[in-house]
Amino acid sequence: MKVEWEERTLSSQRIYEGAILSLRVDTVALPGGGVARREIVEHSGAVAVLPVDEQGHVYLVRQFRKAVEEVLWEIPAGRLEAGEEPEACARRELAEETGLRCAGLEKVCTYFTTPGFTNEAIHVFIATALSGGEANPEPDEHVELVRLPLSQAWEMVRQGAIRDGKSIIAIQRLVIAGGPAGRPGEEAWGRGDATVG
């Protein structure tokens, strides 16, 4: 027997239109019969980029996040502008938040952050072959840039000090790969203790 999954939209009402996100309420017909309401946050999407240097160190930023009322450890990230390609956005955000430029940029994945109520998708990258520059954060951004060994960042994930999803995904991907471009077992990247599992 074929299972129907899709919910057909019967009506849609725009509740809020903001600079970063919008909110709509859809009335939908359920596959098995019946009607339901879905509150949906619309978002243009974002990128996140983990910079890693030749010594096996990664760069993280610390910043206060009002939504959770905490200072979080994160990788550089930002919202896609209209018509902007993810790779271009990743390079822009990396330069703005850290002052770093990169010659290498590897796409890790694109994932939906919370598909139960938002269409936000984040494109995750790893940046290599780094060179320095001057950071130029947005006027309302207050970030601290921190450089630390990949093994320490992974231990912070394991201990729960890093709780931001995009950052966990990128750090875990780098650990699994053994470093940029896949260098399993190389001492500089994992220092022998960054084992997934």
Structure tokens, 111:
């994932």
Domain membership of residue 196 (yes or no) is: no
Query: Is residue 194 scored above 60 in pLDDT?
Result: no
Together in a domain, 37 and 66: no
Same domain? 176 vs 104:
yes
Residues 27 and 68 in one domain: no
138 pLDDT tier (thresholds 50, 70, 90): low
Could you report the per-residue pLDDT of 2-32, keeping only the tens digit for each? 668 899 999 999 999 999 999 999 999 999 8
Whether 51 and 24 map to the same domain: the answer is: no
Is residue 3 assigned to a domain? no
CB 115 within 8 A of CB 41: no
Q: Are strands 8-17 and 46-51 parallel, antiparallel or unpaired?
A: unpaired
pTM for the whole structure: 0.85
Q: How many domains does the chain fold into?
A: 2
pLDDT of residue 51: 97
Contacts (Cβ under 8 Å, ≥6 apart) of 133: 95, 99, 100, 101
Q: Is residue 39 a part of any domain in this protein?
A: yes
The pLDDT of residue 188 is above 60: no
Q: Are residues 35 and 84 in the same domain?
A: no
**Are residues 89 and 21 part of one domain?**
no
Parent domain of 32: 8-43
Query: Is residue 83 over pLDDT 70?
Result: yes
Question: Could you tell me if 130 and 118 lie in one domain?
Answer: yes
